[in-house]
Homo-oligomer: A and B are copies of this chain.
Amino acid sequence: MSKIKRVVIVGGTHGNEVTGIYLVKKFERSPHLIQRSSFESRTLIANPKASAIGKRYVDTDLNRCFLREDLENPNLASYEAQQAKLIHQTFGLQGSQPADFVIDLHSSTANMGLTIILGNENSLNLHLGAYLTSISPKVNILFSTSQQKFRPHLDSICEFGCTLEVGAVAQNVLNAALFQETETIIHAILDYLEAHNQGTAPPVKDNINVYHSIETIDYPRNEIGEIEAMIHPKLQFQDYQPLHPGEPIFLNFEGKEIVYAGESTVYPVFINEAAYYEKGIAMCITQLSKININNQRRD
C-alpha cells in the first residue's frame, strides 16, 4: 500500500468547536509533538473567521462545501465556499501541497465519545479504525457514506483520513478530559501511520463493529417549522445504545411520549446535537454491523 507523505491536522472547521482549535494551537506552539520521521505533519485552522468569533460558520457550513461540483463552481462566493476552494487548492489531490491523510477535529453536544467518522472503507482507514478501537473503549467507528457517493466534508479532499467527533461538550466550551483524550487519539493515529509507512503496523483483529448511518430523524414540527417535542429523557446522551421499535424518542411540551416507529433495532447517534436543529436532524440512525477488515465481508 502506498505510503503517507503528508498529514494535515485540521481544527476550527466549525468555529465554535474549540477542542480542535486549541489542539491545533498547541501543535503550532510545539510542532515536535506531531512530527514523525516518515511523513510531514501540517496544521490548519480551516475557518479562521468563524473561529475568531466563536460561531459555527460565517455564511454557510464549511463542512458541506467540499462537493467537487461546488469546488469547481466559480459562482459560489460565500466566505466558506472560497475557504473550501483554498483548502482544496492547497491540500487536495491536485493541490500545491497534497495531503495524503486528513484528521479533521470536531466536537458535539451529543454523547459521541471518541467517534472516528470514516468516509470510505479503504484498507488503511479500516485497519486504523480497528487499531483505535483496540486502544480505547470510548472509540466507535461511524461510516457516513452508505447513501452518497460524493461527500461534502472537508476530509473528502483526500482518500485517507477521518473526522474525529468528540463529546458530549457544549459549543465554545473546553472540557479538559475530552481535550486530553482527543490528543491521545491524534498521537495514536500519527504513530499508526508512522508504523504503516515503516511496515510495522501492529496487528489488529479481523472483525470490528462499525456503525453505518442509514437515515436521519427530524423533530416533530408545526406548520411553521417550530419544533413541537424534545429528545426524550431516556434517549438523551444514549448515543450508540440500542433503540428498539416502540421505545420513546421524543417528549412533547405537554409531556406526551412519541415512540420510535422503525421495524428493527437501531443505534442513534448525534442525539440532540445543537447545530443540527437548523438542519432538521434530531438524531442520525445507524445500523451496527461487524465487518471483516481484511476481506471487507459484512455480517
Binding site for B on A (CB under 8 A): 22, 25-26, 54, 109, 168-177, 179-180, 226-227, 230-233, 236, 251, 253-255, 272, 274, 277-278
Could you list 6 A-B pairs, sorted by A, with CB under 8 Å? A26-B253, A26-B254, A172-B277, A175-B230, A176-B232, A179-B253
List the B side residues contacting A109 at CB < 8 Å.
Answer: 170, 173
Q: Would you list the 8 A-B pairs with minimal beta carbon distance, nearest first?
A: A170-B170, A176-B230, A109-B170, A177-B233, A172-B274, A174-B230, A176-B251, A173-B274
Interchain CB contact under 8 A, B180 and A255: yes
Tell which of B173, B251, B277 touches A272, judged by Cβ atoms closer than 8 Å.
Answer: B173
Nearest chain B residue, comparing its CB with the CB of A253: B26
How distant is the Cα of A57 from the Cα of B199 in the complex, in angstroms? 54
Q: Report the separation of the CA atoms of residues A231 and B178 in the bound assembly, to the nearest whole angstrom.
A: 12
Q: Copy number of this protein in the oligomer?
A: 2
Interface of A is mostly: loop
**What is the CB-to-nearest-CB distance from A172 to chain B, in angstroms, rounded to a whole number?**
4
Report the Cα distance A251→B232, complex, angstroms.
35
Which residues of chain B are near A231, meaning CB under 8 Å? 174-176
Q: Which residues of B contact A172 (CB under 8 A)?
A: 171, 274, 277
Q: Provide the residues of chain B in CB contact with A54, threshold 8 Å.
A: 278
Residues of B within 8 A of A171 (CB): 170-172, 274
Residues of B close to A176: CB separation below 8 A: 230-233, 236, 251
- Taking CB atoms, residues of chain B closer than 8 Å to A255 are 180
Q: With A22-B253, A169-B170, A173-B272 given, can you name 4 additional A-B contacts, CB distance below 8 Å?
A: A172-B277, A174-B230, A175-B236, A179-B253
B236–A177 touching, CB < 8 Å: yes
User: A254 to nearest B CB, angstroms?
Assistant: 8
Give the docked Cα–Cα distance between A170 and B237 (Å).
Answer: 12
On chain B, the residues within 8 Å of A253 by CB distance are: 22, 26, 179
**With a CB–CB cut-off of 8 A, which chain B residues contact A227?**
174
> Smallest Cβ distance from A238 to chain B, in angstroms?
13
Nearest Cβ distance between residue A147 and chain B, in whole angstroms? 27
**Distance in angstroms between the alpha carbons of A274 and B16 in the assembled complex:** 10
- Chain B residues with Cβ under 8 A from A180's Cβ? 255
Judge whether A170 and B274 touch: CB under 8 Å. Answer: yes
Contacts of A226 in B (CB 8 A): 25
